Amino acid sequence: MRFSTVLTALLTALLLACSGGTEQAGADTDDAGKTDHVWKEQVETIDRAKGVEDTLKEADQTKREAIKDSGGG
């Protein structure tokens, strides 16, 4: 009798722990619908770095066109 009670309790706990929820663990959404997550700061840093890279590429292209137009290349 005691074994079946413990087994039932464990199975119930397992089912409740494994049940699918609509929310992700550790994720919050803000008003804009963006999801906060563990790596939010790192992702934002990478996005800023990509923006800097794009800016540098544009500056490089402008410089190359200026050199080409001036007949230096």
Distance CA 5, CA 69 (A): 85
Distance CA 73, CA 63 (A): 11
Distance CA 25, CA 19 (A): 12
Residues of the chain with pLDDT under 50: none
Tell me, what's the pLDDT at 9? 87
Tell me, what's the pLDDT at 12? 85
Tell me, what's the pLDDT at 50? 96
Tell me, what's the pLDDT at 53? 96
Tell me, what's the pLDDT at 57? 96
Strand 28-29 relative to strand 35-36, pairing: antiparallel
Tell me, what's the pLDDT at 27? 56
Tell me, what's the pLDDT at 60? 96
